[in-house]
C-alpha cells in the first residue's frame, strides 16, 4: 500500500486528510465517525459541518466541543506532511487495499497508519501473543511455532511488546518471513524503546500498524483496542505462554468474538506463567497446539505457498468477485451459484476450481462451496 499524490485506491487525498483530522479529535471513534459519514455523505462535508447539523448527526456536547476546538487549530495539510515525514501513509476503510480480514470485524478501525507494506498475501496471517515476562519455555516454544509458521508462508502478527511478542516477530524475521506489529501508540512512538531496532527490521519485511495519531504515547487504555486489531488482522490467535489475567488473553477473547480460531500451548501445572494458556484449553476456548502442523491443518493452510504462487500467476477477475458476493460460510451448490450469479455452470465450476487453488474458497461436500474464511465479530468503539 502506498500513498499517492492524487488519491489512495479510489479515496481522494482531500478526503483522506479529513479522516486523519477526525482521528485526532478526542471522543470521536469509529462508531461516531461512521454516524457522521452516514449523515453527511463524506468526510470533508462532515469536518466542515455547521455545529447544529453536527449535533443532529449524533455528536453529544462534549464531542462537538472537541471537534470544534481541534478543527480551529489543526492544519490538516501540515499533518499529512508530518505523516509522510514519519515514513508512513494512511489507509481508510474505503480503500480497496484495507486489510480484508480486519474489514470483516464489527466496527473495524475506520483508518490505519501504516509504515512499511501490507500485502494481499498477509491475509494468510496468525497472531502469536503471550506474556511480557516470558520464561525460557515460552521463548523456545514461540521460536519454534512462529518460525515454523513463517517458513510455511504465514504472516506473523503481534504487538511489539517485550517477551513473547518480540520473540514472535524475531522468529518470523529469522525464518525469512513477513511480520506485522500493531502498536498501542502513534506510528512514530516505538514502545518499548529497546525495540526500535526490531521495529526497523519489521518495516523492511512487513509493517507497523496503528489507529492512533502521530505522537500518541503508549497508555494502558490503548492496548485492549490495539489487541482487537491484532486478532482482527488474522485467521487465528496463538497464545504460547500467558498467566491468568494476561493481556494476551484479551487478544484471544477478541478472536473468539470475531469468529476466529484460538490456539494455546500447554505448560507446566506448577508454572503460574502458563495458567492462562492451560485455562483456555481446559475451558474448550482454545485448541491445544503441540506442533506447527496443528495450526496449519486446522485452518486449511498447508498449501499457502502454492496458493500464493497461483494468485500471483492468475490475478482475480470480475467473475471471481461476483461469485464471492454470493458465497458465505453456508455451503452453496454450484447450480445455486449459477442461478444467483446468472453465469453459465461451466464458467462457475471452472472459476471455483481456480479459486480453490488460490485458497479463496473450499469445497464443503459434493458440489457445494464455502468461503475459505469466515466473517464475524462483536466490538464497539465510540
Cell digits for 341?
Answer: 450469479
* The model's pTM: 0.79
Q: Which comes out higher in pLDDT, residue 325 or 149?
A: 149
3-class DSSP state of 16:
helix
pLDDT tier for residue 364 given thresholds of 50, 70 and 90:
confident
Q: In this structure, are 277 and 211 located in the same domain?
A: yes
pLDDT value, residue 379: 34
Q: Of 79-83, 229-233, 287-291, 297-301, which gets the smallest average pLDDT? A: 297-301
pLDDT value, residue 325: 86
Q: In this structure, are 163 and 231 located in the same domain?
A: yes
Angle, CA of 144, 133 and 257, to the nearest 5°: 75
Q: In this structure, are 66 and 143 located in the same domain?
A: no
What whole-number percentage of the chain has pLDDT above 90?
A: 71
**92, β-bridge pairs:** 111
pLDDT value, residue 304: 67
Q: In this structure, are 184 and 151 located in the same domain?
A: yes
Q: In this structure, are 131 and 207 located in the same domain?
A: yes
Sign of CA dihedral 53, 59, 62, 68: negative
pLDDT above 50 (res 382): no
* Residue 368, number of CB atoms within 10 A of its CB: 15
Task: Give tens-digit pLDDT for 126-147.
Answer: 999 999 999 999 999 999 999 9
3-state SS string for 218-261: CCHHHHHHHHHHHHHCCCEEEECCCCCCCHHHHHHHHHHHCCCE
Q: In this structure, are 330 and 273 located in the same domain?
A: no
Q: Which domain holds residue 287?
A: 120-298
Long-range CB pairs of 164-167 (<8 Å, 24+ gap) are: 164/128, 164/129, 164/130, 164/131, 164/132, 164/134, 164/138, 164/139, 164/240, 164/241, 164/242, 164/248, 165/128, 165/129, 165/130, 165/132, 166/195, 166/198, 167/134, 167/138, 167/139, 167/142, 167/143
Question: Is 376 domain-assigned?
Answer: no
Count of the separate structural domains present in the chain: 3
Question: Is 111 domain-assigned?
Answer: no
Q: In this structure, are 340 and 290 located in the same domain?
A: no
CB 286 within 8 A of CB 269: no
pLDDT above 60 (res 375): no
Q: In this structure, are 166 and 285 located in the same domain?
A: yes
Angle, CA of 183, 187 and 193, to the nearest 5°: 70
Phi-psi map region of 374: left, alpha, beta (phi>0 left; psi -120 to 50 alpha): beta
**What's the DSSP call for residue 310?**
H
Write down which residue in 298, 329, 353 finishes a domain: 298
pLDDT above 50 (res 11): no
pLDDT value, residue 48: 95
Percent of residues in the chain assigned helix, strand, coil, to nearest 5: 50, 15, 35
Q: In this structure, are 252 and 354 located in the same domain?
A: no
Mean pLDDT, all residues of the chain: 89
Task: Give tens-digit pLDDT for 336-363.
Answer: 999 999 999 989 988 988 888 877 888 8
Question: Is 249 domain-assigned?
Answer: yes
Amino acid at each position: 500500500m502506498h500513498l499517492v499524490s492524487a488519491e489512495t485506491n479510489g479515496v481522494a487525498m482531500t478526503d483522506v486528510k479529513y479522516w486523519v483530522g477526525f482521528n485526532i479529535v478526542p471522543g470521536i471513534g469509529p462508531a461516531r465517525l461512521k454516524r457522521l459519514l452516514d449523515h453527511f455523505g463524506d468526510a470533508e462535508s462532515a469536518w466542515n459541518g455547521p455545529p447544529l447539523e453536527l449535533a443532529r448527526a449524533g455528536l453529544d456536547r462534549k464531542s462537538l466541543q472537541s471537534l470544534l476546538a481541534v478543527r480551529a487549530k489543526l492544519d490538516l495539510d501540515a499533518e499529512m506532511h508530518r505523516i509522510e515525514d514519519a515514513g508512513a501513509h494512511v489507509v481508510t476503510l474505503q480503500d480497496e487495499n484495507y486489510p480484508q480480514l480486519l474489514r470483516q470485524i464489527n466496527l473495524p478501525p475506520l483508518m490505519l497508519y501504516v509504515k512499511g507494506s501490507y500485502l494481499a498475501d498477509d491475509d494468510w496471517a496468525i497472531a502469536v501473543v503471550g506474556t511480557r515476562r516470558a520464561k525460557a519455555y515460552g521463548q523456545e516454544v514461540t521460536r519454534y511455532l512462529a518460525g515454523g509458521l513463517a517458513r510455511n508462508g504465514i504472516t506473523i502478527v503481534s504487538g511489539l511488546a517485550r517477551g513473547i511478542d518480540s520473540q514472535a516477530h524475531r522468529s518470523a524475521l529469522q525464518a525469512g518471513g513477513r511480520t506485522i506489529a500493531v502498536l498501542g501508540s502513534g506510528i512514530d512512538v516505538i514502545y518499548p524503546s529497546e525495540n526500535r531496532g526490531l521495529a526497523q527490521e519489521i518495516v523492511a519485511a512487513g509493517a507497523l500498524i496503528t489507529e492512533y495519531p502521530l505522537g500518541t504515547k503508549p497508555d494502558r487504555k490503548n492496548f485492549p483496542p490495539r489487541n482487537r486489531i491484532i486478532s482482527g488482522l488474522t485467521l487465528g490467535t496463538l497464545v504460547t505462554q500467558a498467566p491468568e489475567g494476561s493481556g494476551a488473553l484479551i487478544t484471544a477473547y477478541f478472536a473468539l468474538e470475531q469468529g476466529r480460531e484460538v490456539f494455546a500451548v500447554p505448560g507446566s501445572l506448577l508454572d503460574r506463567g502458563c495458567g492462562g494458556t492451560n485455562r483456555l484449553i481446559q475451558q474448550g476456548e482454545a485448541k491445544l497446539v503441540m506442533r506447527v502442523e496443528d495450526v496449519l491443518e486446522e485452518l486449511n493452510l498447508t498449501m499457502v505457498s502454492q496458493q500464493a504462487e497461483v494468485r500471483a500467476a492468475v490475478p482475480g477477475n470480475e467473475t471471481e468477485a461476483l461469485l464471492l458476493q454470493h458465497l458465505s460460510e453456508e455451503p452453496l451448490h454450484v447450480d445455486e451459484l449459477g442461478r444467483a450469479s446468472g453465469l453459465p455452470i461451466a464458467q462457475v465450476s471452472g472459476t471455483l476450481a481456480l479459486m480453490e487453488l488460490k485458497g479463496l474458497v473450499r469445497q464443503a461436500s459434493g458440489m457445494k462451496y464455502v468461503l475459505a474464511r469466515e466473517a464475524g465479530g462483536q466490538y464497539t468503539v465510540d
